[in-house]
Copies of this chain bind each other. A is one copy, B any other.
Amino acid sequence: MRKWMGTLLCAMGALSLVMGMSYTSASTNVSSYAEDRAQIEDLQARYMFALDFRDIDTYLSTFTKDGIVDIVGMKWQGHEEIREMLKSMSQNAPEGKEKPAAKEEQKLYPATGRHNITNIVLKIDGDKATGRAYWFSYGNNNPDRKAVLSSYGHYEDEMVKVDGQWLFNKRVIYNEQVAEWIGPTENPCW
Residues of chain A having any CB pair with chain B under 8 Å: 1, 4-5, 8-9, 11-12, 15-16, 19-20, 22-24, 26-27, 30-31, 33-35, 37-39, 41-42, 44-46, 48-50, 53-55, 58, 97, 107-110, 112, 114, 116-122, 132-134, 136, 138, 140, 145-152, 176-177, 179, 182-183, 185-190
Contact = CB atoms under 8 A, between A and B. Distances in A.
Contacts of A20: 19, 22
Oligomeric state, in copies: 3
Nearest to A38: B34
Nearest to A49: B189
B31 A35 contact: yes
Contact of A121 (B16, B46, B121): B46
Contacts of A49: 119, 121, 132, 187-189
A110 B50 CA distance: 32
A16 B19 CA distance: 8
B118 A50 contact: no
A5 B8 CA distance: 8
Contact of A118 (B34, B39, B117, B122): B117
Contact of A31 (B34, B55, B119, B121): B34
B35 A33 contact: yes
A109 B152 CA distance: 15
Contacts of A12: 8, 11-12, 15
Contact of A140 (B118, B147, B177, B183): B177
A42 B37 CA distance: 9
A53 B185 contact: yes
Given A46-B190, A49-B188, A112 B37 contact: no
Contact of A1 (B4, B26, B31, B134): B4
A52 B59 CA distance: 30
